[in-house]
Amino acid sequence: MTYIFDGSLPGLLTAVFEWFERKPGKVVLKSIEIFQPEAFAESFTVTTNSEKADRVWAGLQKKLKKDWLLKFYCSYLSEIPEAYNHLFQFTLYIFQNEKGAESNYGNEHVIALAKFAKSVEREKHRMEAFIRFQHTADGIFYTSIDPDFNVLPLISNHFKNRYADQQWIIYDLKRKYGLHYNLNTVEEITISFTEGINKQKPAPSVMDEKEELYAVLWKDYFKSANIVARKNTKLHVQHVPRRYWKYLTEKQLS
Amino acid sequence: MSDRIREKLNILADAAKYDVSCSSSGGTRKNDNKGVGDSHTSGICHTYTEDGRCVSLLKILLTNHCIYDCLFCVSRKSNDVKRAAFTVDEVVELTMNFYRRNYIEGLFLSSGIFKNADFTMERLLLVCKKLRLEQRYNGYIHLKTIPGASDELIKEAGLYADRMSINLEMPTEAGLKLLAPEKSHADVIKPLGFVQQNIVQFAADKKLIKHVPKFVPAGQSTQMVIGATPESDKDIMYTANAFYKNFALKRVYYSGYVPISNDSRMPILGTQPPLLRENRLYQTDWLMRFYGFKVQELLNDANPNLDVDIDPKLSWAIRNMQHFPVDINKADYRMILRIPGIGVMSAQKIVQARKFGKLRIDQLKKIGVSYNRAKHFITCADSPYQLRDYQGTQIKAFIMAESQSKYLKTDSNQMILF
């Protein structure tokens, strides 16, 4: 039996609710995006229902501590198709067992969630590290990113707390939405970019007059801090994988 | 204007880079004044240089003018290098602008000694005060304590810095006297002790009084240069151990000496820095701090130096085969931590998971155990039955046959036939 849901978190939680209502035995959860009908397998399409979802979430909150609720949410944000089914099975497993069952690292769904969450948290941490703001002429600190996972919801508070006295925008080019901090709250925004504009590095004309100087000073610093006699390219690339170089001011040639 | 500041930054960053500490962890400052900056408990490495070292802090000297002539230091008086000095405002502006662009976690400020210790310490303190009070900056500050500075200045600096450090420079007094006759370990011990006393005092006050200011919340650290003088690994780690114990240091850093002088008392220019040795020392340091090993178990008169070809944990296990094999499903946490191929995270997962049933090989692999290494030292639910006991040396040979050290360019055990 396959359960099909719309890919949303409430959808996933509703699926759990429906399973307990019907008790259909073994079920695999798939998102509508990747679902391919099979000739002999039955399927059931879950209709997302926020009340049912809330009840399941409230139930999870009773069973799990904060760290595991976060792992659950992070795994969901990975957007990996297999993660959805593991989340579904994990939730059934948690509800069917005594409190504390999440520490059974011998269970395949527990260990799967721990791994998905670790990947997502690593990507979150990388964004906190590798984001480089550019100071625009209208005073906003701007950056665009395209992270492997949907981490904007996870990094919002970090940047809000850290840069409380400056306006900033972090824009996810892959998922086409961003965050704007307006000195009070963080709002979700979408930007309609003009055709042909460089989204990564806007033209110098729209930049603060000191922006170029500090970018150059930072590149200088990056070079000066290196000890040539200890050159270790393998380690360097291990810590800063090539796909992140496009974010980094210090890795740009001009 | 911009050319001059670029030149200064190049000179003063270049001179500061041999100080290896770049940790930004342990900060507890929160952005509660709607300023800029908020500490991240575990620290953040914002980039890595091409030598693979993390860049977390803007690490600079206030000046590289120095009245001392320590042989191991690039900024020594007799060295013919370009000199420069930042103004206090220049450091403040650089820090703020780098921080606002998310380039850095904070500032690491050190300095050559100009005029005298107090004069230098005063300037460093001024930078910290301007950042905290004028710029409402809550990011990380790692400040060098200048040996010989007055207690009042050091104590005041502790109110603004997150971490303070003084370098031991050489692992033994004899080594230090050889290369820097004007200095002694006592110069370091006094201020380290003074700051430590204050940390303890502030913590005690905090229990009684609600609003006690922070005092060096991320603790103290020190650094030793290794490979410049002929100390054994035992000398180095026993010194480190004593400083961890006596001064509750957060970190001891080991810096492989990069030749910068032609003096006959030191390795000649062009000698490769001892990177493998440095790595083994850090491994030992980790075993002491996170794995419950006593330094005497890892290094002693029978084994005064660490193995080059295998890591110190494996080395200990092979010397102590009487403790193995360990039953994964029964042994206590401290013993599981000692198994080669099992780290802290895996050990914790094992102890939690085995409450739900006996663990098997496939589960151990999924948990993250490096099974090929660990298999020689453990038994679990489905361990294959072993007919004979292997000697430590045989196990070492098995492990070495299937692993390749990243430091050895060519495998020394390999024979070339044609």
Tell me which residue in A130, A134, A239 faces B52 most closely, judged by beta carbons: A239
In angstroms, the CA B351 to CA B380 distance is: 13
A197-241 residue pLDDT tens:
788 777 878 899 999 999 999 999 999 999 998 999 999 999 999
- Going by pLDDT thresholds of 50, 70 and 90, the confidence category of residue B406 is low
The answer to the question of residue A68 being in a domain is yes
If asked whether residues B95 and B204 sit together in one domain, one would say yes
If asked whether residues A221 and A164 sit together in one domain, one would say yes
Boundaries of domain holding A32? 2-121
If asked whether residues A205 and A246 sit together in one domain, one would say yes
If asked whether residues A102 and A136 sit together in one domain, one would say no
pTM exceeding the 0.95 threshold for the entire prediction:
no
Look at residue B412 in the predicted model and tell me its pLDDT. 45
CA angle B124, B129, B131 (to 5 degrees): 100
If asked whether residues A93 and A143 sit together in one domain, one would say no
Looking at chain B, which residue has its C-alpha nearest residue A212? B2
Complete DSSP assignment for B225-284: EESSS---HHHHHHHHHHHHHHH--SEEEEEE-------TTSPPTTPPP-HHHHHHHHHH
If asked whether residues A144 and A103 sit together in one domain, one would say no
- Whether residue B58 contacts residue B143, with contact meaning beta carbons closer than 8 Å, is answered with no
Radius of gyration for the alpha carbons in chain B, expressed in angstroms and rounded: 24
The answer to the question of residue B151 being in a domain is yes
CA angle B169, B174, B178 (to 5 degrees): 75
In angstroms, the CA B34 to CA A53 distance is: 37
- Can you read off the two tokens belonging to residue A39? 């000739």
* pLDDT at position B415 over 60: no
If asked whether residues A246 and A210 sit together in one domain, one would say yes
The answer to the question of residue B231 being in a domain is no
Give the DSSP H or E segment for A114: helix A108-130
Q: Lowest mean pLDDT of B60-64, B238-242, B380-384, name the range.
A: B380-384
What is the number of domains present in chain B? 2
What is the number of domains present in chain A? 2
* pLDDT at position A136 over 90: yes
Residue written as tokens 């086409």? A176
| B residues 190-249 closer than 8 Å to A (CB) | none
How far is the alpha carbon of B316 from chain A, nearest alpha carbon, in Å? 27
Query: What's the ipTM?
Result: 0.93
The answer to the question of residue A93 being in a domain is yes
Phi, then psi, of B31 in degrees rounded to 5: -80, 80
Last residue of a domain, one of A95, A121, A147: A121
If asked whether residues A34 and A101 sit together in one domain, one would say yes
If asked whether residues B338 and B215 sit together in one domain, one would say no
If asked whether residues B208 and B337 sit together in one domain, one would say no
Q: Is B200 left (phi over 0), alpha (psi -120 to 50) or beta?
A: alpha
The answer to the question of residue B216 being in a domain is yes
In angstroms, the CA B94 to CA B61 distance is: 13
Quote the distance between the C-alpha of residue A26 and its chain's center.
30
In angstroms, the CA A33 to CA A144 distance is: 26
Would an 8 Å CB–CB cutoff place B47 in contact with chain A?
yes
The answer to the question of residue A126 being in a domain is no
Look at residue B260 in the predicted model and tell me its pLDDT. 84
Look at residue B391 in the predicted model and tell me its pLDDT. 85
| B residues 276-335 closer than 8 Å to A (CB) | none
In angstroms, the CA B46 to CA A131 distance is: 9
The answer to the question of residue A247 being in a domain is yes
DSSP conformation class of A195: T
If asked whether residues A117 and A135 sit together in one domain, one would say no
- Whether residue A44 contacts residue A19, with contact meaning beta carbons closer than 8 Å, is answered with no
Would an 8 Å CB–CB cutoff place B101 in contact with chain A?
yes
For B386-409, letters b (16+ CB in 10 Å) and e give: eeeeeebeebbeebeeeeeeeeee
- Whether residue B336 contacts residue B328, with contact meaning beta carbons closer than 8 Å, is answered with yes
- Can you read off the two tokens belonging to residue B312? 């110190």
Last residue of a domain, one of A94, A121, A148: A121
If asked whether residues A11 and A81 sit together in one domain, one would say yes
Last residue of a domain, one of B189, B220, B251: B220
The answer to the question of residue B263 being in a domain is no
If asked whether residues A98 and A153 sit together in one domain, one would say no
If asked whether residues B215 and B321 sit together in one domain, one would say no
The answer to the question of residue A157 being in a domain is yes
In angstroms, the CA B192 to CA B250 distance is: 12
The answer to the question of residue B394 being in a domain is yes
If asked whether residues B201 and B330 sit together in one domain, one would say no
Mean pLDDT is highest, among A81-85, B72-76, B181-185, for A81-85
Residues in chain B with CB shorter than 8 Å from the CB of A129 are 44-47
In angstroms, the CA A167 to CA A140 distance is: 5
If asked whether residues A37 and A77 sit together in one domain, one would say yes
Mean pLDDT of chain B: 92
Last residue of a domain, one of A80, A101, A121: A121
The answer to the question of residue B18 being in a domain is yes
Burial class (CB in 10 A: 0-12, 13-18, 19+), B288: buried
Q: Is B213 left (phi over 0), alpha (psi -120 to 50) or beta?
A: beta
In angstroms, the CA B260 to CA B93 distance is: 31
Boundaries of domain holding B30? 2-220
Look at residue A194 in the predicted model and tell me its pLDDT. 80
The answer to the question of residue A75 being in a domain is yes
Contact A222 B45 (CB under 8 A): no
Contact A132 B54 (CB under 8 A): no
**B14-41 average pLDDT score:** 89
Q: Which CATH number belongs to the domain containing residue B209 in this structure? A: 3.20.20
Give the DSSP H or E segment for A129: helix A108-130
The answer to the question of residue A20 being in a domain is yes
